[in-house]
Structure 1
Amino acid sequence: MNAYLHCMSHTPLVGHVDPAREVLVEVDAMISDTRERIARFDPELIVLFGPDHYNGFFYDVMPAFCIGMAADAIGDFDTAAGPLDVPRTLAEACAKAVLDAGIDTAVSYRMQVDHAFAQPLELLLGGLQRCPVIPVFINSVAVPLPGFKRARLLGEAIGQWAASLNKRVLFLASGGLSHQPPVPELANVNARMADRLMGSGRQLPAEERQARQQRVIQAAKHFVEDPHSLHPLNPAWDQQFLDTLEQGRLNDLDGLSNDALSVLAGKSTHEVKTWVAAFGALSVFGPYQSAGRYYRPIPEWIAGFGALSAQPLPHTL
């Protein structure tokens, strides 16, 4: 029985709006090091916590949490497309265990995921089907949102189940840290966009998807020129958050409200709840030690870009 964890920011802007070469080299080195450590761990199962950006989950039915029994990546922003290798029987058992633990989660036998799930599998594992993976969606943009406490409890429930498997389980989290790209909000859009957010956006025409992606690219370019054009990055909060995870003080985040987090670090910073869920899962295995901490604010990617790995201390569960 064993566990390993890695949390990492994602960005669809790689290759579209890139920082200076030395920053790219630095990020590539971090990813390469992480990939090697994951390869040494040799996971038998991945539990991947990720958000969505109105590509797979919409307001026709917007769950706080959803566990995928099967999943396909749409390939937005030139990320990998196609089916994930989801072990259906294990995913069903995971969902049952979570519900039995008192955490309400939806399930999906046709989960559609975007770069938030595809990018970490592509960068850290080499593809969508290199290892069996259970995708766990955490709503991070569509209000009303789950809070930190519920995300932590979700992770703990999944960790309890994973600890019973006698498998090497890798917990991955994708998203965060401080950032606020131009994601539409239901309360502030026209009727056509509201219809997209309510479900018609599942199958966007190619030209409309391209236009949507171009808006994000242009917003990133503008943000580099004018840091006040979007919600500013908050490196101080990002570093404090990483400290909290490293020190195992997950409960400290329970009292931080969604509104307060949005003001502190941007409305898309709620993606860090995937990190809290992953650390909640790892905490079940006992005290842990962290490694591979990385952080840099990268305005070209509209992101406080970070990464953090952890594993249980020896002689724990």
Structure 2
Amino acid sequence: MTTALVGLSHSPLIGKNDPDPDKLARIDAAVKNARAFVRKFDPELVVLYAPDHYNGFFYKEMPPFCLATEAHAIGDFGSQAGPLSVDSAAARSLAQSTLDRGIDLTVSARMIVDHGFVQPLEVLFGGIDRVPVVPIFINGVATPLGPLHRIRSFGTAIGESIAALDKRVLFIASGGLSHDPPVPTLDGAPPRVADALIEGHAPTPEQRAKGEERVLQAGRDYAAGIATMIPINPTWDNHVLDTFENADLAAIDDWTVQWMGTEGGGSAHEVRTWIAAYASLAATGKYRTLSRFYEPVPEWIAGFAVTTAVEDEHR
């Protein structure tokens, strides 16, 4: 068994509301580097940790994390739609082994996923059907949110369970870092919105287009400095990245839900996908960071990061 990791921020505004050419070129170079890293590693299996944005998971049932044995992408914001190439046998094996380790894992036999899952597969592999994958949802939006040590314990259990598969496994974290996009909240929502957040009624094409345009306009306003959303926080983002690079994962247990939201914005808890992925990698042995890139990108309403890491051969 050999393991590696890519951490990759996502945004539905990529390609629709881009930053200046120089910044975009730096981002493209970092992504190209990650793509080359993945190509060289040549994974036999990808374990993909990603959030949802009220497209697949709703308040009617909202697990803190959920592993899929089958998954289908809805194609929001122009992302690819259709079935993911889920390795169902590996998914079932990981689920059972994780449950055996005392983690109360939810399993979905028909998970619905959105751009949070699709973008890293498109960016790193060219599509959602190019590599066997085990998709794992991590709730980073819907409150109440549990303590961070539970996410680290979950990621550790997945990492420990990987050994039985005897494959080259790439862990991918999709999301983060600091960002405060216009994601609806249940508290104080009008009845129609609350019902949609609870029941998960599929929007009409017109409603989806209207919602996506609202996000695009928010990105324009944010970049222009006229939005009321919490600003991107590069200091906090780099503190988070330092924690991963230094493999100081135990320090995460002291992070609080309130602190993360205050410092990083309403969707900063997408960092939970990174915590799970790095905990999985650390569970297979000591690791070292190969590359780290970060840029605040107001046009994408995101602190945007790309990292790569591998097992430390000197461990």
Uncovered stretches (5+) of structure 2, i.e. residues with no partner: none
Aligned residues of 2:54 and 2:200 also touching (Cα < 8 A): no
What residue is the counterpart of 2:247 in the other structure? 248
* TM value normalised by structure 1: 0.97
What residue is the counterpart of 2:260 in the other structure? 261
| Gap change, CA 1:104 and 1:227, over 3 Å in 2 | farther
Computed over aligned residues only, the root mean square deviation of the Cα atoms, in angstroms, reads 1.0
Aligned residues of 2:221 and 2:227 also touching (Cα < 8 A): no
Secondary structure of the corresponding residue to residue 188 of structure 1: coil
What residue is the counterpart of 2:309 in the other structure? 310
Q: Does 1:215 align with 2:214?
A: yes
What residue is the counterpart of 1:23 in the other structure? 23
What residue is the counterpart of 1:77 in the other structure? 77
Aligned residues of 2:34 and 2:307 also touching (Cα < 8 A): no
Q: CA deviation at 1:228?
A: 5.1
* Total equivalences in the alignment: 315
Q: Where do residues 108-257 of structure 1 align in structure 2 (5 Å cutoff)?
A: 108-201=108-201, 203-226=202-225, 229-257=228-256
Cα distance in 2 for residues equivalent to 1:315 and 1:24: 36
Cα distance in 2 for residues equivalent to 1:147 and 1:41: 33
Aligned residues of 2:51 and 2:273 also touching (Cα < 8 A): yes
* TM value normalised by structure 2: 0.98
| Gap change, CA 1:185 and 1:256, over 3 Å in 2 | same
Cα distance in 1 for residues equivalent to 2:173 and 2:57: 18
Q: Over residues 50-81 of structure 1, what are the superposed CA-to-partner deviations in whole Å (9 max), with x where a residue is unaligned? A: 00000000011100110001001111111111
* Letter of the structure 2 residue corresponding to residue 293 of structure 1: R
Q: Over residues 21-54 of structure 1, what are the superposed CA-to-partner deviations in whole Å (9 max), with x where a residue is unaligned? A: 1112111111111111101111000000000000
| Gap change, CA 1:227 and 1:274, over 3 Å in 2 | farther
Q: Over residues 110-143 of structure 1, what are the superposed CA-to-partner deviations in whole Å (9 max), with x where a residue is unaligned? A: 1000000000000001110111000000100000
What residue is the counterpart of 1:88 in the other structure? 88
Q: CA deviation at 1:287?
A: 1.2
Q: CA deviation at 1:222?
A: 0.7
What residue is the counterpart of 1:283 in the other structure? 282
Cα distance in 1 for residues equivalent to 2:298 and 2:188: 25
* Letter of the structure 1 residue corresponding to residue 189 of structure 2: V
Cα distance in 2 for residues equivalent to 1:57 and 1:26: 34
Work out the percentage of aligned pairs sharing the same amino acid. Answer: 47
Aligned residues of 1:139 and 1:146 also touching (Cα < 8 A): no
